Structure formats: structure tokens, C-alpha cells
Amino acid sequence: MFKTAEENLNAVSAIFKGDNDFVAREFELPNGGKGAAVFIDGLASSEVINDFILTPIMNDRPISVGEADRLDTIKKASEVILDGDTVVFLDGFDTAAYFSTKGFPSRNISEPQTETVLRGPREGFTESLRTNTALLRRKLKTPDLRMEASRLGSRTNTTVCLCWIDSIASPDLINEVRRRLDNIDVDAILGSGYVEEFIEDEPVTPFQTVGYTEKPDVIAGKLLEGRCALIVDGTPFALTMPFLFVENFQSPEDYAIRPLAASFLRIIRIISFFITLALPALYVALVDFHPELIPTTLLYSIASASEGTPFPAPLETAVMLFVFEILREAGIRLPKPTGQAISIVGALVMGQAAIQAGIVGAPVVIIIAFCAVASFVSPTVSDSVNLMRWLLLLLGSTMGGFGVLLGLLSIYILLASMQSFGVMYLHPIAPLSLQELGDVGIRVPMWMLKRRPSALHPQDKIRQANKTKPKFNGGIPSYGNEQ
């Protein structure tokens, strides 16, 4: 940097090249010297700059701003300016001072639309990094919570924050995540999805190996198990690592309701996964290759309903499945009121019209509708299922039940061979760990979940010290009965 405020101001102005939102406020000091405050209009708060920085400086009073520090290069000065802070240059100093004046508008905290719950916390992350870290701090009031910030993207300079609990998470996991982040060399990081594709283990498989969520309580629960999280500035979706396949069937609401009810809902999710994955292929395989396995009455009903349709069962199913994908995509992309109308009207009117016109049979419409509803039960795995469903349909159409079984076995082999940050993707199913199955297909009571997942190699393996269920005098209150 230079010794005069004017030279430093010219150097910074040359970087921004006369941008109309770049503001430079020059002023005189009480000792006769000159100074300049530079900031970005819209990112910095003008009220804070005027009342707590410029006015105290020009009146020789202390500056009362929450965060302040020194800068020794013009490059660092331009970076903090783009973060919404204000940089002050003064004559006679070859360093500058920056003050935290962030004041850009941000969305209010609200319930995430993709992870609604009937019982439990309803606050979700926003696009503001500091808001998200504060929400996480509210859940984990422990000094062991670490938040390590870095910048990614040579042009966007996006701030990402790696979070973990120092006394629980494995140091090897944190070092591996750091290594993968350091290897990212790209000009733009505009969301967490960009980072996910650079750090995931299996980039060519349809199944995700990095989790995502909008809920601070979910992140807190993952960190307490020994995982780490990555919060990206500008997006409400935080990433969690490692991510296992069984997490697709877990919901934050499972831990807010009774264990039996939570276990029943998890079983429903698992069954729905197999329904949406294999039902169309099984229908085609049974109708075309194994009609003897269908009850006689049902077989007659299917035959009569499909009589007169011009297409064979495989093509009929593929066409309706393709139509469903079009309706689903249209319902997501269109504005919310219009999208709902398109989905409902399209499903009802087009399905009924296709049956009456004799283009497709009613059984196929029922199968695809049931498959579509089941796909919404576990939304995190729905994209993967949509691709695998077509593979099974192709195998079922060409090789019957043997092809469907071969496809399911291939998917299982693929899942069993995958890893997420050194952890087997199907843990604790493959390799089997009987002690950790209590939070997979079912959800045992909280007092039985004594140990953290061993595959994460946590430093502190014990969740709770009690060895048996807590007892409360048989459930009979003893107030006022003390002798």
C-alpha cells in the first residue's frame, strides 16, 4: 500500500473501474490530513458508515463497530469490500483499516418447503452465511464446535464454512475434506451443488454420496454423530459428509415422535422405495413372461382392461412413465399455483382420456400412478430411482423376472462397492453391524442409542453414560411424601 489516502484510493478505484455501485467518501481529518472510506452501495449499511465510522473519525472520537482489523495489501482491501465491509485509508499510513458494515438484504428465516415436519423445529437456513452459522450455534452451544472459513472460486470468491465438533469428529475425516476443498480450482462457485460435484466419491453413479439439508437441527444431529458439514454462502442448502444410503429413509421428525410410529414410517419409506423402483418392471415381467404367477381373477381383469390397446405392455408402460416424468418436471418448474393445477389436471384428465381412447389400459395407469406417489415418500433418493427404474424396465421387458432380479442384484452390488469419504455406503447393512441396526430400518428408543456409528471413527464413541433405561419410581410421583 501507499502512504497517502489518495494513492490508495486510486489503486482501489482502478480495480473496480468506475462501477456505479462503488462508493468512495473522501473526508478531512482534524489534524489536516485526508482520508477516504470505500464500500459497495447495497452491500454495506450507509447508516453504520455515517454514524459509527465517518462521524467519529472526523470528530476525533473512538469508532464503535463490532469487527475491525488492519489490511496491508490492495488485493485484501478489494476482497473485504466485496464482502460488504468498509475500508478506510488515512494519510501517513501504509496500511488500511476495515470495519464490518454488512447490510445487504437477506431472506427471513422460514420453514424449508422441501423438509416440512409436523413436529420439531421449523426454522431453516437462508442464503446468508452468518445467519446460518448463528442458527447452528444456537443448536450446539459447545466451545468444541469448530467453524473454518475458506474461499472458493477465483472470480466469485465464495465463502464456505467447514463445521465439525472437535472432540467427536475424526481428524482424518476433517483433513480429507480440507484436502478435497483445497484441490478445487474453478472460477465460479454459486451454490453447494457446485462444491458437491468436486468433492464427492462417486461422480458417475446416480446415488449421491454427499448429503444436503436446509435444517439446522439436522446438521446438529449429523455433527453429533461424528460427521462434518459445509455451509456455502449464498445458498440455504448445507452439505454433510459422509453420507450413507440409509440416511435417505431417515427424517428429522423420526426423533420427535414415538419410536413405534417412527419405525412404522421408516418401513413405509423403505417399501415405497422398492415399489417406485421395481413395480413397473415387475408388472411388465409378470404380464409378458410369467402370467401363471398372477391370480386368475386378476389376470382376467388385466386382460379385459388391456384388450384393444395398440401397444404391447413394455411400450405402454414406458410411454406412461415418460408422460409422468414430463408432468412431474412441469409441476416443479412452473409457478406454484399453476404447477399444482398442471399436475392434477394432467394426471386426471390425460389419464382418463388415454383409457377411454383405448391408447393405454387402466392397469398401466394405476401402476404408474402408484409408482409416482411412492417416489415422493423419500425425495432425497427419488432422482436416483428415476434413472434405475428405466434400467429395470428394460431388463424386465427383455428377460422377464430374471432380468428384474439381475438388475436389483446389480444395484445392490453397486451400492455395496461405493464409499463416502472412506465409509462403506451401505453401512451398517454391508458390512453387517447388528449393534447399529437400531437406527436403520426401525428407530429404537433414544435411551438405547448409546454409541455413535463406528464407521465414522468418532473420537468420543459414547453418546450417553447410562447403561440401562432410566427409572422414575415406577412412574408414581412422590411429591410431598418425603419423610
- Give the pLDDT confidence of 227-261 residue by residue, as tens digits: 999 999 999 999 999 999 999 999 988 998 999 99
Banded model confidence at residue 482, pLDDT cuts 50, 70, 90: very low
Are residues 278 and 409 located together in one domain of the fold?
A: yes
Residues 370 and 325 in one domain: yes
Same domain flag for 220 and 306: no
Clarify whether residues 315 and 413 are in a common domain: yes
Residues 269 and 405 in one domain: yes
262 neighbors 255 (Cβ within 8 angstroms): yes
Does 437 reside within a domain?
no
Residues 276 and 237 in one domain: no
| Mean of pLDDT values over 348-365 | 78
CA distance 233 to 236: 8
Does 229 reside within a domain?
yes
Domain limits for position 340? 256-417
Number of domains in the chain: 3
Return the pLDDT at 468.
62
Same domain, 343 and 378: yes
Quick one: pLDDT at residue 483?
43
In a domain, 400, yes or no: yes
Above 70 in pLDDT, residue 203?
yes
104: in domain: no
Give the closest residue to 192 by CA, choosing from 207, 179, 210, 173: 210
Under 8 Å between Cβ of 54 and 25:
yes
> How large is the greatest C-alpha to C-alpha distance in the chain, in angstroms?
101
| pLDDT surpassing 60 at residue 474 | no
Label residue 147 by pLDDT band (50, 70, 90). very high
Assess if residue 451 is contained within a domain: no
pLDDT higher than threshold 80 for residue 478: no
Give 360-408 pLDDT, tens digit per residue. Answer: 888 888 898 889 889 888 888 888 898 899 999 999 999 999 999 999 9
Q: Is residue 209 part of a domain?
A: yes
What is the arithmetic mean of pLDDT over 213-224?
95
Lowest model confidence (mean pLDDT) among 113-122, 130-139, 187-196? 113-122
Give pLDDT, residue 303: 87
Compare 380 and 334 and report the one with higher pLDDT: 380
Give the pLDDT band (50/70/90) at residue 430.
confident
235 and 269 in a single domain? The answer is no
The model carries a pTM of 0.87
- Based on the fold, state whether residues 178 and 215 are members of the same structural domain: yes
Q: Examine the fold and report which residue of 54, 79, 99 is the final residue of a domain before the chain moves on.
A: 99
The mean pLDDT value of the chain amounts to 89
Question: 349 is written with which cell numbers?
Answer: 384428465
- Domain limit, last residue, from 204, 222, 243: 243
Question: Residue 419: its pLDDT value, please?
Answer: 94
Average pLDDT (341-361) is 71
- Residue 265: inside a domain: yes
pLDDT value at residue 346: 64
**What confidence score (pLDDT) does residue 60 get?**
85
Q: Are residues 283 and 372 in the same domain?
A: yes
The answer to whether position 475 is within a domain reads no
The answer to whether residues 92 and 137 belong to one domain is no
By the 8 A CB rule, do 87 and 12 touch? yes
pLDDT digits (tens, 9 = 90+) for 47-99: 999 999 999 998 888 888 878 899 999 999 999 999 999 999 999 999 999 99
Contacts of 288 (CB under 8 A, 6+ apart): 312, 313, 314, 397, 400
pLDDT tens per residue, range 280-310: 999 999 999 999 999 999 888 888 888 878 8
Same domain, 302 and 403: yes
Among 388, 417, 446, the domain-final residue is 417
